[in-house]
Amino acid sequence: MINYPTIDPVAISLGPLQVHWYGLMYVVGFVAAWWLGCKRAPRIGLTKDDIGDLLFYCAIGVVVGGRLGYALFYGLGQWAADPLWVFRVWDGGMSFHGGLLGVLLAAWLFARRKQLAFFTLTDFIAPLVPIGLGAGRIGNFINHELPGRVTSLPWGMPFPGMGPEPRHPSALYEAFLEGIILFAILWWVSAEPRARGFLSGLFLLGYGVFRFMVEFVRMPDAHIGYLAFGWFTMGMLLTLPMIALGLLFIAWSRNQPVDAKV
């Protein structure tokens, strides 16, 4: 058993100003996406300034979509009891699925502005996302979020506020799978030209499979519980359409043109 590390969720305090680790993880994700995007921008005719604009669009999509998605999928009761809660993003509580929808809307608007094919742009974005996902899961871990189920494995950790039993560090599992592994796969595959829509499909499929796997060892939200069978969670339900769409896009891409290297 490993002791859960004690890390203050507040990284920096300057008088009344507090900078939370959770917020800094989003900065890490956006900076990494900007840097990687600038390296590949010429492949689809974009400039560094364009990448900055794209990241601005996507940042709004991630924050607004992620927070609203969490409120709608997981926190309607809390939102109803405290309407201002939805604005306290630094306290945690972001939905990947809501953030994804926000980013897709932002990408659609940006693609129209730059007269790019939508899937050309989403294929370009897909390899830039996982580092931010991994960083966000580290933020969840520091915030004592996403507790795992009880385990006898040697790396189990007593979760703060949930008794002495060792539990799966599910947030770290997701950081590894959705962050490191998914990034390695997408960055390697995207090094060569691919049919339009293939990378977008691979991202959806990869994330969906990894998330579905981790849900087996992650505790469901206490106010929702298991939806069925004593193991099926809301995360699984929201992830199944991603897996299906990922497979559909990969199959559809076989009849699409091969874009430049993205």
| Enclosing H/E stretch for 253 | helix 234-253
Instruction: Look at phi and psi of residue 10 and say left if phi exceeds 0, alpha if psi is from -120 to 50, else beta.
Output: beta
Find the angle CA(86)-CA(88)-CA(89) to the nearest 5 degrees: 90
Is 167 annotated to bind a ligand? Reply is no
Find the angle CA(184)-CA(185)-CA(191) to the nearest 5 degrees: 90
Phi, psi of 228 (to 5 degrees): -165, 155
**CB environment 232-242: b (16+ within 10 A), e (fewer):** ebbbbebbeeb
Distance CA 240, CA 194 (A): 25
Give the tokens for residue 89: 């993003």
Question: Pairing mode, if any, of strands 166-167 and 157-158?
Answer: antiparallel
Give the tokens for residue 52: 């900055």
No. of H helices and E strands in the chain?
10, 4
Report the binding-site residues. 137
